């Protein structure tokens, strides 16, 4: 493991002086041949990679008007330069969003614009050579596709789209990232990112049912593959496996139980998360999404509800219908798909849940908006619902809540530092440094309001914070699931 220094938490955020090359060494493990081929990419860097890469770039640009506009319009105003958490945490100038985009843009200019083709030096157009390829691999794996920079860009240029396109091109020529591609392969063959087979899933759920009964005296079920249930819950497999995720899963189960809703999990679609998004691969994204459609049809459900996961919700909210629709066989009176937070919020609004806030009196909470929910999608039926709903759930389930600084929450939220397919041990330095802005904001509310726990609604955020918080002097269990609060506060009817 690489030695590095954890940044010091300052009293207020300071934009660092640039340190060229500070993160040039950071690159994730490359996927081996078998992982690549399993998901439809060449096993290793192909011979005519330059030609194929440029052709693919042309294809992507001609298919996506948005991508072309993003590449053509940047005026180098500099508004984005200090907005990326990885720049703030590493000081590497390539982590300024405009510089990251330019790695792609300079190549685009060289091969797809008149000036770049004929006078490349005059317009900063660059060849796609091996050095450029290496820069791409390193720095497009230092972007968590969180879109914070796009909020501040006067043209709305979205670095996430450029970073996804770059990774798609890299995969097309045989250079994939091990972490993402191994996961995509497992999701497509076993049904989830962990590779958790049905018998292990059934055993795990049974154990959780025992735990809940032991704790509450109430038989709360976690049904698996139950035909004709009303709701199919699709949740990140981390909810079955890891902490604090599992406490969120227990919370969902208690909500369904208390509201008398019939629901089931599916062993075929035992994953909400969709890593196809991170590598910009429509085909892979579709294969993973189709499992959800197939499971919904097979089980005969009427609704699909997604558990706490940021990019799962982005894919579900924005693309599920395109990828795996039409969902005309579901109950059209409910949003398709629906988020578990929308379900819980709706029940709270209708006084359908009995909640005892004092059950969370041992905690003082703050809330971390997940980037893919905050900027990539929405909840509820009003603008900004994705900011209102989780906060209203927190306020309905606990007595002590304080938001972090305004420029670090809601649409300005900072990424946890592990999104976009970077939640892997070979990128720990990047993850720790990228968490700096969030950790600074957290420290402020800890110091000023005695905040003890940060609530998250995304499996990646939860795993990332449990890993990096100890580097900054916090405890790993200071991050918790939103539905853990709900699960603690919910009063279950013992007579049932």
Partner 1 sequence: MSIELDGKSYETDEEGYLVNMGDWNDALASAMAREDGAELDSNHWEVINFLRDYYEEYQIAPAVRVLTKAIGKRMGKEKGTSKYLYELFPYGPAKQACKYAGLPKPTGCV
Tell me which residues touch partner 1 (CB under 8 A). 29, 178-179, 182-183, 186, 192-197, 199-200, 203-204, 207-208, 211, 236-238, 240-243, 246, 273, 309, 423, 425-426, 459-460, 462-463, 467, 476
Return the number of the residue (129 or 206) whose C-beta is nearest partner 1.
206
Return the number of the residue (338 or 463) whose C-beta is nearest partner 1.
463
Q: How far is the CB of 311 from partner 1 (least distance, A)?
A: 9
Q: How far is the CB of 164 from partner 1 (least distance, A)?
A: 18
Alpha helices in 221-377 (DSSP H): 238-241, 245-259, 282-299, 310-324, 340-349, 371-374
DSSP 121-163: GGGT-----HHHHHHHHHHTTS-----HHHHH-TT---HHHHH
Instruction: Give the C-alpha separation, 11 to 13, whole Å.
Output: 7
Return the number of the residue (75 or 476) whose C-beta is nearest partner 1.
476
Return the number of the residue (87 or 179) whose C-beta is nearest partner 1.
179
Return the number of the residue (134 or 211) whose C-beta is nearest partner 1.
211
Instruction: Give the C-alpha separation, 424 to 468, whole Å.
Output: 12
CA distances from 145 to 64, 101, 185, 420, 442 (A): 17, 12, 21, 5, 22
Return the number of the residue (225 or 243) whose C-beta is nearest partner 1.
243
Return the number of the residue (441 or 458) whose C-beta is nearest partner 1.
458
Long-range contacts: 129-135, Cβ < 8 Å, 24+? 129/50, 132/103, 132/107, 133/49, 133/53, 133/170, 133/175, 135/94, 135/103
Return the number of the residue (411 or 426) whose C-beta is nearest partner 1.
426
Q: What is the CA radius of gyration of the chain?
A: 23
Yes or no: say if 407 and 437 are a contact pair by the CB < 8 Å rule: no
Q: How far is the CB of 238 from partner 1 (least distance, A)?
A: 4
Return the number of the residue (99 or 309) whose C-beta is nearest partner 1.
309
Yes or no: say if 149 and 159 are a contact pair by the CB < 8 Å rule: yes
Which residues, other chains included, contact 146 with Cβ-Cβ below 8 Å and sequence gap of 6+? Answer: 85, 160, 371, 372, 375, 414, 415, 419, 420
Yes or no: say if 309 and 209 are a contact pair by the CB < 8 Å rule: no
Instruction: Give the C-alpha separation, 443 to 445, whole Å.
Output: 6
Q: How far is the CB of 264 from partner 1 (least distance, A)?
A: 19
Q: Centre a 10 Å sphere on the Cβ of residue 181 and count the other Cβ atoms it contains.
A: 27
Q: How far is the CB of 437 from partner 1 (least distance, A)?
A: 21
Q: How far is the CB of 140 from partner 1 (least distance, A)?
A: 20
CA distances from 216 to 106, 244, 392 (A): 61, 19, 25
Positive or negative, the Cα torsion across 43, 45, 47, 50? Answer: positive
Return the number of the residue (167 or 400) whose C-beta is nearest partner 1.
167
Q: How far is the CB of 424 from partner 1 (least distance, A)?
A: 9
Q: How far is the CB of 464 from partner 1 (least distance, A)?
A: 9
Q: How far is the CB of 250 from partner 1 (least distance, A)?
A: 9
What is the layout of strands, in order, in the sheet containing 479-481?
365-367, 453-456, 479-481
Q: How far is the CB of 426 from partner 1 (least distance, A)?
A: 7
Return the number of the residue (200 or 352) whose C-beta is nearest partner 1.
200
Alpha helices in 217-269 (DSSP H): 238-241, 245-259
Instruction: Give the C-alpha separation, 49 to 367, whole Å.
Output: 45
**Count, residues in the chain:** 496
Q: How far is the CB of 425 from partner 1 (least distance, A)?
A: 7
């Amino acid at each position: 493991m690489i030695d590095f220094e954890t940044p010091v938490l300052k009293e207020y955020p300071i934009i660092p002086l640039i340190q060229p090359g500070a993160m040039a060494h950071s690159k994730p493990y490359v996927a081996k041949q078998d992982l690549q081929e399993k998901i439809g990419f060449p096993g290793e860097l192909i011979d005519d990679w330059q030609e194929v890469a440029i052709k693919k770039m042309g294809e992507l640009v001609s298919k996506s008007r948005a991508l072309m506009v993003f590449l053509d319009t940047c005026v180098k105003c500099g508004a984005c330069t200090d907005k990326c958490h990885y720049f703030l945490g590493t000081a590497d100038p390539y982590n300024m969003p405009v510089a990251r985009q330019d790695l792609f843009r300079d190549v685009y200019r060289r091969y797809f614009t008149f000036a770049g083709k004929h006078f490349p030096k005059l317009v900063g157009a660059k060849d796609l050579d091996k050095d450029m390829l290496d820069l791409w691999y390193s720095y497009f794996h230092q972007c968590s596709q969180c879109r914070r920079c796009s909020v501040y860009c006067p043209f709305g240029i979205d670095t996430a789209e450029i970073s996804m396109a770059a990774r798609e091109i890299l995969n097309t020529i045989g250079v994939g990232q091990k972490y993402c591609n191994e996961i995509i392969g497992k999701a497509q063959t076993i049904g989830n990112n962990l590779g958790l087979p049905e018998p292990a899933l059934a055993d795990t759920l049974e154990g959780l049912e025992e735990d809940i009964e032991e704790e509450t005296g109430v038989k709360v079920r976690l049904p698996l593959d139950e035909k004709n249930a009303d709701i199919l819950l699709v949740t990140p497999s981390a909810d079955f496996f890891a902490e604090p995720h599992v406490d969120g899963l227990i919370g969902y189960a208690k909500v369904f139980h208390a509201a008398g809703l019939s629901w089931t999990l599916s062993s075929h679609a035992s994953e909400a998360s969709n890593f196809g998004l991170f590598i910009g691969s429509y085909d892979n994204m579709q294969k993973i999404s189709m499992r959800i459609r197939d499971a919904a049809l097979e089980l005969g459900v009427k609704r699909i509800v997604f558990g706490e996961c940021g990019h799962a919700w982005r894919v579900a909210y924005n693309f599920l219908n395109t990828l795996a629709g039409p969902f005309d066989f579901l109950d059209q009176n409910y949003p398709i798909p629906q988020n578990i937070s929308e379900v819980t919020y709706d029940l709270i609004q209708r006084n359908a849940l009995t909640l005892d806030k004092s059950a969370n009196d041992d905690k003082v909470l703050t809330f971390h908006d997940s980037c893919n929910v905050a900027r990539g999608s929405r909840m509820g039926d009003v603008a900004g619902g994705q900011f209102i709903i989780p906060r209203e759930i927190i306020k309905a389930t606990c007595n002590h809540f304080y938001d972090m600084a305004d420029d670090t929450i809601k649409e300005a939220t900072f990424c946890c530092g592990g999104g976009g397919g970077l939640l892997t041990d070979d990128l720990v330095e990047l993850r720790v440094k990228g968490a700096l802005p969030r950790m600074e904001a957290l420290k402020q509310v800890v110091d000023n309001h005695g905040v003890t726990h940060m609530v998250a609604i995304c499996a990646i955020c939860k795993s990332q914070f449990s890993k990096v918080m100890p580097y900054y002097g916090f405890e790993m269990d200071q991050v918790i699931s939103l539905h853990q609060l709900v699960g603690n506060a919910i009063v279950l009817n013992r007579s049932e």
